[in-house]
């Protein structure tokens, strides 16, 4: 599962960057959505790691 996180975050950043270039007025929404998604991915990965 951890391998997927390393793929998802750069893709989200790339999509966010393209959207900001196309429509600069979306900057606030794109940044907010990016932070929410990355935060949720971090939380879910923290809870799915088995404790050793």
The answer, as to whether pTM is greater than 0.85, is no
Which residues have a Cβ under 8 Å from the Cβ of 27 and sit 6 or more positions away?
A: 20
pLDDT digits (tens, 9 = 90+) for 17-43: 888 888 888 888 888 888 888 888 888
Give the number of other Cβ atoms within 10 Å of residue 19's Cβ: 16
**pLDDT band per the 50, 70, 90 thresholds, residue 50:** low
């Amino acid at each position: 599962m951890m391998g997927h996180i390393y793929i998802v975050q750069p893709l989200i950043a790339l999509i966010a960057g393209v959207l900001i270039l196309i429509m600069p007025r979306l900057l606030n929404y794109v940044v907010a959505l990016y932070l929410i998604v990355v935060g949720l991915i971090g939380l879910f990965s923290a809870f799915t790691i088995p404790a050793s």
